[in-house]
Amino acid sequence: MESKRQKKFAGVIQEDLAAIFQREGANYLPNTLVTITHVRVTPDLAIARVFLSFFNNTDNQQALNIVKSHASEIRYKLGARIKDQVRIIPQLEFFVDDTSEYVERMDKIFDKISKEERQPDTGEE
């Protein structure tokens, strides 16, 4: 379970990374909107796991690889923003947040189930 300190630090990182991607995201991924959906930080605050969601993009894995290839540059820009608030700038690990895809897939399954005709209960077992 994350401590208050971890949650607060994760919130700072999420906010600053969102600003970085808003300004610089077009340089990495043209015509793609990158959203930071969640950030988790290790207890020692040395590693930040950043979950990204890509909109207007066909290949999430390729987009993730592009972001990973710019990870040191993104970390440097993050460091410039938070250097007065922290002792060390965390290593950034990027992951695709597939929650929206999962929700969409589950919605389709539930729609399919609701359209199927229900079998009448016979009362026999």
Q: What is the CATH number of the domain that holds 33?
A: 3.30.300.20
**Structural domains of the chain, count:** 1
In this structure, of 27-41, 63-77, 80-94, 96-110, the range with the lowest mean pLDDT score is: 96-110
Global pTM value: 0.78
**Distances from the Cα of 74 to the Cαs of 30, 52, 109, in angstroms?**
16, 14, 38
In a domain, 22, yes or no: yes
pLDDT of residue 121: 62
In a domain, 44, yes or no: yes
Average per-residue pLDDT for the chain: 87
Parallel/antiparallel/unpaired status of strands 33-41 and 47-55:
antiparallel
Mean pLDDT value across residues 56-70: 90
**Distances from the Cα of 14 to the Cαs of 39, 76, 103, 111, in angstroms?**
6, 15, 23, 34
Structural domain of residue 83, as residue ranges? Answer: 4-115
In a domain, 124, yes or no: no
82-120 b/e with 16+ CB inside 10 Å = b? beeeeeebbebebebbeeeeeeeeeeeeeeeeeeeeeee
Nearest CA to 48 out of 95, 90, 6 is that of: 90
pLDDT of residue 117: 67
Mean pLDDT value across residues 52-77: 91
Q: What angle do CA 59, 62, 63 make, to 5 degrees?
A: 85
pLDDT of residue 120: 63
In a domain, 11, yes or no: yes
